[in-house]
């Protein structure tokens, strides 16, 4: 019982968790004010469209693979009339996956590429060129 009383007495001299004046005051911040035109970069609409196309393509590919597996089971059971459908769905799934990969690569390129910024032209050379 004595230990519990000592533990409870320890917290009496401490500040409350919400009392954090040192972190909320603006003094000591070494951050330049934001320029009016500087905002967080936005995701380009082209990248969003390509990403949606990649998602749709992935869903279509999964559906075509599911159908191809079903036709493959029918062929294994002796139904020879399912061969053309198996070949058609297999080739379609392959083409769909290829287009999905292209859409993913284009999405990545649209997100990673640096936007063209307008400003003064950079001088040719570095510090040594100015000497």
Tens of pLDDT, residue by residue, the chain (131 residues): 666 555 556 555 555 566 566 666 666 666 666 666 666 667 888 889 999 999 999 999 999 999 999 999 999 999 999 999 999 999 999 999 999 999 999 999 988 875 666 667 776 776 666 55
Q: In Å, how far are 3, 84, 117, 120 from 38, measured between CA atoms?
A: 57, 58, 12, 17
Q: Which of 58, 63, 51 is nearest to 97 (CA)?
A: 58
Residue 75 near residue 88, CB atoms below 8 Å: no
Residue 99 lies in a domain: yes
At 120 the pLDDT is 74
Count of CB atoms situated within 10 Å of the CB of 51:
18
At 79 the pLDDT is 92
At 37 the pLDDT is 66
Residue 60 lies in a domain: yes
Residue with tokens 């693979």: 65
Residue 68 lies in a domain: yes
How many separate domains does the chain show?
Answer: 1
At 91 the pLDDT is 97
Residue 63 lies in a domain: yes
Host domain of residue 90:
54-113
| Rounded Cα distance, 20 and 92, in Å | 62
Reported pTM: 0.57
Residue 25 lies in a domain: no
At 112 the pLDDT is 87
Host H or E run for residue 10: helix 2-10
């Amino acid at each position: 019982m004595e230990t519990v009383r000592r533990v409870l007495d320890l917290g009496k001299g401490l500040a409350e968790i919400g009392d954090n004046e040192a972190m909320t005051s603006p003094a000591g911040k070494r951050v330049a004010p934001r320029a009016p035109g500087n905002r967080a970069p936005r995701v380009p609409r082209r990248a969003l469209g390509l990403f949606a196309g990649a998602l749709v393509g992935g869903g279509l590919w999964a559906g075509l693979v599911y159908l191809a597996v079903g036709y493959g089971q029918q062929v294994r059971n002796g139904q020879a009339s399912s061969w053309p459908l198996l070949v058609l769905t297999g080739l379609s799934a392959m083409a769909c996956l290829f287009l999905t990969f292209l859409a993913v690569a284009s999405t990545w390129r649209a997100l990673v590429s640096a936007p063209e910024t307008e400003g003064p032209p950079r001088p040719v050379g570095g510090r040594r060129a100015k000497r």
